[in-house]
Structure 1
Amino acid sequence: MSRFFKFSALWLLSLFVFSCGNSTEDQQPQTEGFIRFKVDGVQKEFKANPMTPMSFSFDSNGPAYNAILQVLGPGSTGTSNFVQFNVWNEKIFETNVDYQMQQSVSYRGAAIARINFTYSDEQGQLYNAVLLKQNLPNIEVKNDATVRFTKITNDWAEGTFTAILIGPVTTSGIGNQERSISEGQFSIKLVNLTP
């Protein structure tokens, strides 16, 4: 009986030791993404749908690389409670680079904003940053945005962002209310279509 107890204890101890993984093992792939940010200091967090991942692509017409992200918040109708941005770049996206909206990109020979950023609140009021200051020297342009990728793998992207948005946008023009997007973070499935 004593021998059985010792053997059982030794077996359980061995099982415990060998079942504990070490920290260098590959972690399971992430399956649920998110985007979180503050709008004028109010925290927002949306779960990302794996069927609508971030995508990287190359537009040979530009030519330019493009990163697109759109995430719908809880109860979104598709026209309310969502965040969307796209980033244009001259070369493949890299980690730890601040992509800034007001640093223009040449697209078909014309200077365009490096980032277009849109946020729609729960009531469907649309705010965006799309205007490039250098193209409108006679008006005050407050639009701005920055996106930084902190992780890019074959199928996942993470990063941070901030933006100053103007709106609400209506059929007759753009309002003059400012919305500050701060402390933005995303962790989302990536489909990389770049050559």
Structure 2
Amino acid sequence: MTKYTLLLLSMVLLAGCSKKSDNPAAPGTYYLRFKADGVQKEYKAHTLAQLYYDPENLSYHCNMTSSLKTAELGKDALSLFLLSKTAYKTGERYHLRNEIEMPKTNAIMPQVMISMFTESGKPYTAQFLPVTGLQFDDAAEVKFTEITDKYVRGTFSGLAFSMLPERAELKVTDGEFYLAVYK
């Protein structure tokens, strides 16, 4: 439960970190669009991507987030969190099921996680690695089609769930992102 809370808190904090001077395009140009259980969504507020190297854990991080409205950070928002042992590359697919070891904490993390708030504020995540004996069907996939120092572009999909014990399913399909890189 703590990991879940930290993931949601990270999403809200990251969404609140926006510097207009680092946005190379006009507001509303960047987006994160996808279908949630078949319903088209397009978020254009607080659009940003943050890519960096974590020397303590010998891993590359990419946090991407966007929301529908600036004033409602706990509603209509989606974030993608990625970890990799190598620099991100275009054309490569990154998957939740791939385990990334974090040496500083000895934790094993999924390579991709999704965190989403619906319009009512209900949280969903795809964050659990497969575990023998437990049925966690969480899934997430991200593919970069462009990576520059100004923006990232690509596709994503996943299968996210609400909090335990309910674990209601939410299918995320046809995801696309075009996000400014925050420096």
Matched, 1:120 2:124: no
**Aligned-partner SS, 1:176:** coil
Picking from 33, 38, 42, the partner of 1:36 is 33
Instruction: Compute the TM-score of the two structures, normalised by the length of structure 2.
Output: 0.80
In structure 2, C-alpha distance between the alignment counterparts of 1:190 and 1:75, rounded to whole Å: 18
**Corresponding residue for 1:96?**
91
* Aligned-CA RMSD value: 1.6
Distance across 2 between alignment mates of 1:147 and 1:56: 14
Gaps of 5+ in 2: 1-23
Structure 1 regions of 5+ residues with no counterpart? 1-28
Between the aligned partners of 1:121 and 1:185, the Cα distance in structure 2 is 18
Match runs of 1:147-186 below 5 Å:
147-167=142-162, 169=163, 173-186=164-177
Asked whether the equivalents of residues 54 and 191 of structure 1 are also in contact (C-alpha less than 8 Å), the reply is yes
For these two proteins, the number of residue pairs brought into alignment is: 156
2:18 corresponding residue in structure 1: none
TM-score normalised by L of structure 1: 0.75
Q: Which residue of 2 aligns with 1:7?
A: none
Please say if residues 166 and 174 of structure 1, whose CA atoms lie closer than 8 Å, have aligned partners that are also in contact. no
Q: State the structure with more CA Rg.
A: 1
Deviations 1:123-162 (A, max 9, x none): 01111011111xx211111101000000011211100000
Q: In percent, how many aligned pairs have the same letter?
A: 22
Give the CA deviation at 1:85. Answer: 1.3
